Amino acid sequence: MIKHLLVSLALFIVGNAAIAQVADTFAYDPWPGDIRVSQVDEKHFADVTRQQLFLSVPFAESIPFYLAFPTNRKVTTVVLLLHGITSSKDIWWQGSGPYSKVREYREALLAAGYAVVAIDSRFHGQRTHLAGYRSPRDLATENKPHALRDQVVGSVIDFRRVIDYLQTRDEFADANFGSLGISLGAIHSIALAAVDDRIAFTVPIFPPPKAPGPAWQVFPMGIASHTNTDTLLLLADQDEYYTLTEGKALFASFASANKQLMVLNSKHDPDITKAPEVLHWIENRDVLAN
């Protein structure tokens, strides 16, 4: 009996230490009085407004992002849209080409009254100069696991700063937040949900589960056990970056009591989406969990 209690206590201590380590890895210094946001463009699409913004805080690089929201409806939920590797925030509006089918998720969310935020992650989009204009894919193909880890950590911190800013705007001060990401963006989405309790739900689409060396701890298989957020995981049954068995092992490792798995007949670049089903899950996830 005593031995069993000691083992349980040791596991509890180790578990809490692991949680604290993950939280510390993604921690950042807030600058609540020094958030600077500049708007460089605003477009109107029927009943939707899209603003192009840059966020700056001291001792950090500027973060470019789009904020789109229904023009004449009160927004109660904001969804962060997180793009894949070598892509950018523009993919969520792109009409053709690789990964352009993901725009259907953005369209469904806006039509249902959600606001969406599409952010250039580090070394992507308007931030490619930070990588010397090299492809971010080089981090994986040239075996740079420390830089790959830093890309994930730095990007997630940037996303958290964008949420900080949104909460200063009257129209989003009381909003809920969720995240939806594809590929590398799905990796970001899982990590963000693990370390920021403002994220009420996450929809990672086709996340590569594993990474070498130090990147492992911030990749899905290394961090999913810390993710208690409501989770809808989408897997491709013909994905080039993981087997379906590996994907299902990732699903099993999520700590969330409210999680659902959806398997698509697709390769990594989706030629189909499940936007209506994903939207249904987001809007009914509390009921579906029971």
Q: How many angstroms separate the CA atoms of 129 and 213, rounded?
A: 26
- Per-residue pLDDT at 41: 96
Among 226, 148, 149, CA closest to 193: 226
Residue 59 above 50 pLDDT?
Answer: yes
- Per-residue pLDDT at 12: 40
Q: Which residue has 């969520």 as its token pair?
A: 92
Residue 9 vs residue 278, higher pLDDT:
278
**pTM, whole model, 2 decimals?**
0.92
Cβ partners under 8 Å of residue 50, min gap 6: 42, 43, 44, 66, 67, 68
End-to-end CA, the chain: 35
Of the chain, the percentage scoring pLDDT greater than 70 comes to 92
Q: How many angstroms separate the CA atoms of 165 and 35, rounded?
A: 7
Q: Are the beta carbons of 113 and 73 closer than 8 angstroms?
A: yes
- Per-residue pLDDT at 20: 64
CATH fold, domain 2-288, is Rossmann fold (3.40.50)
pLDDT confidence bin for 34, thresholds 50/70/90: confident
Mean pLDDT confidence for 6-30: 64
Mean pLDDT confidence for 104-125: 97
What average pLDDT does the chain have?
A: 91
Residue 69 above 90 pLDDT?
Answer: yes
> Which tokens sit at 156?
């997630």
